[in-house]
C-alpha cells in the first residue's frame, strides 16, 4: 500500500507518436539513455550466454525500444506492458508481433520458460518491486539472466533526476518519479537474492556532461538529438545490473 505520493504512470498512455519523435519531453532522454543501456545489456548477454538466440521477456516494455533491439540481435523477445496505448506504439515501431498486455505481479507465463528477463526503467514505477523481481525469477530458467535499471534513493537523485527534469526539460509531467519509490542498490541486491538470483555486475549511467548537447538542453528545455549517456562506476544516480538465477 502506498505510504506517500503516488507515481504518475498515466502519462505514458498519452504519448502516442511522441514516444519516437518528441524532443521537448523526457521521453527523448529515455531514448538517448536506451542506447547506452541496450549496448551494455547486449554485451553482458553475449558474455554470459553466448551468441545463440535466447527467449527474452521485457517487463514494462513501453514502446518497445529494448524489445526491438534484442529482436534485431536474433532473440525471441516477448514485450509485456499494462498500457494498451504504449503497446500499440510498440507494434507500430517496426515489430508488430511479440507484445502482450499483462500484470508484472502475475506474469502470464509458466515457470522457468525464459532465458532472460528485463525490467528496465520499471521497478521505480511500482509499489512492490520485490514482488516484481520474485515473479521475474519465477519465469527464469536456472542460469538465466535478470537485467534491471532503476534509480538510487538519495538527495542527489532527487535533485538531479526528479527536480532537474522538472526545471530543465519541457513537458515533464508531475510525479513522473517519486523519491520514495527509488531503490538503493543494497535493497535491489536483497530482492534478487530473495528471488533466488545472484547479482553479478553493476554499472552506473549518467548524462555525458562534456557534450554541448547537455548544456543546450539546460538552456532550452529541449533534448538535442545528439544528447548522450555514458556508463560510470558510480551508482549514486541511475544504475544497471544483471543477476543470475541460481
Examine the pLDDT at 242 and tell me if it is beyond 80. yes
What local confidence, expressed as pLDDT, does residue 79 receive?
97
Examine the pLDDT at 129 and tell me if it is beyond 80. yes
Structural domains in the chain, CATH included, are 10-245 (3.40.50.150)
What is the pLDDT averaged over residues 49-54? 96
User: d(Cα 95, Cα 6) in Å, to the nearest integer?
Assistant: 32
Question: Contact at 8 Å (CB) between 93 and 124?
Answer: no
Which class for 107: exposed (0-12), middle (13-18), buried (19 or more C-beta within 10 A)? buried
Tell me which DSSP letter residue 124 carries.
G
In the chain, % of residues over pLDDT 70: 99
pLDDT digits (tens, 9 = 90+) for 200-210: 999 999 999 99
What local confidence, expressed as pLDDT, does residue 237 receive?
97
Among the listed residues 185, 173, 216, the one whose alpha carbon sits nearest the alpha carbon of residue 32:
216
Which residues, other chains included, contact 80 with Cβ-Cβ below 8 Å and sequence gap of 6+? 57, 58, 59, 60, 61, 99, 100, 101, 102, 104, 107
What local confidence, expressed as pLDDT, does residue 95 receive?
79
What is the pLDDT averaged over residues 102-128? 97
Question: Contact at 8 Å (CB) between 243 and 48?
Answer: no
User: d(Cα 206, Cα 104) in Å, to the nearest integer?
Assistant: 27
pLDDT digits (tens, 9 = 90+) for 8-25: 999 999 999 999 999 999
User: d(Cα 100, Cα 34) in Å, to the nearest integer?
Assistant: 21
What local confidence, expressed as pLDDT, does residue 1 receive?
54
What is the pLDDT averaged over residues 191-197? 98
* Beta-sheet strands, E only, within the chain: 55-59, 76-81, 99-101, 114-120, 140-151, 197-207, 229-232, 238-245
145: left (phi over 0), alpha (psi -120 to 50) or beta: beta
Among the listed residues 98, 95, 68, the one whose alpha carbon sits nearest the alpha carbon of residue 80:
98
29: left (phi over 0), alpha (psi -120 to 50) or beta: alpha
| DSSP bridge partners of 246 | none
Q: How confident is the model at residue 245 (pLDDT cuts 50, 70, 90)?
A: very high
* Size (the chain), residues: 246
The structure's pTM equals 0.96
Q: How confident is the model at residue 44 (pLDDT cuts 50, 70, 90)?
A: very high
Amino acid at each position: 500500500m502506498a505510504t506517500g505520493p503516488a507515481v504518475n504512470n498515466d502519462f505514458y498512455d498519452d504519448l502516442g507518436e511522441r514516444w519516437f519523435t518528441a524532443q521537448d519531453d523526457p521521453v527523448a532522454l529515455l531514448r538517448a539513455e536506451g542506447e547506452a543501456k541496450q549496448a551494455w545489456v547486449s554485451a553482458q548477454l553475449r558474455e554470459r550466454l553466448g551468441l545463440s538466440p535466447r527467449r527474452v521477456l521485457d517487463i514494462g516494455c513501453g514502446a518497445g525500444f529494448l524489445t526491438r533491439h534484442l529482436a534485431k540481435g536474433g532473440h525471441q523477445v516477448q514485450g509485456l506492458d499494462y498500457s494498451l496505448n504504449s503497446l500499440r506504439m510498440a507494434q507500430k515501431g517496426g515489430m508488430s508481433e511479440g507484445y502482450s498486455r499483462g500484470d508484472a505481479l502475475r506474469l502470464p507465463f509458466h515457470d522457468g520458460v525464459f532465458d532472460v528477463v528485463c525490467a528496465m526503467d520499471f521497478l521505480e514505477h511500482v509499489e512492490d518491486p520485490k514482488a516484481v523481481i520474485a515473479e521475474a525469477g519465477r519465469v527464469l530458467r536456472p542460469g538465466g539472466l535478470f537485467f534491471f535499471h532503476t534509480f538510487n534513493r538519495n538527495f542527489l537523485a532527487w535533485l538531479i533526476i526528479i527536480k532537474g527534469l522538472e526545471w530543465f526539460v519541457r513537458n515533464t509531467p508531475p510525479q513522473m518519479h517519486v523519491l520514495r519509490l527509488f531503490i538503493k542498490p543494497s535493497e535491489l541486491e536483497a530482492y534478487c537474492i530473495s528471488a533466488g538470483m545472484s547479482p553479478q555486475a553493476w554499472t552506473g549511467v549518467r548524462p555525458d556532461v562534456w557534450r554541448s548537447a547537455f548544456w543546450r538542453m539546460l538552456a532550452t528545455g529541449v533534448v538535442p538529438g545528439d544528447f548522450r549517456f555514458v556508463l560510470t562506476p558510480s551508482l549514486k544516480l541511475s544504475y544497471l545490473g544483471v543477476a543470475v538465477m541460481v
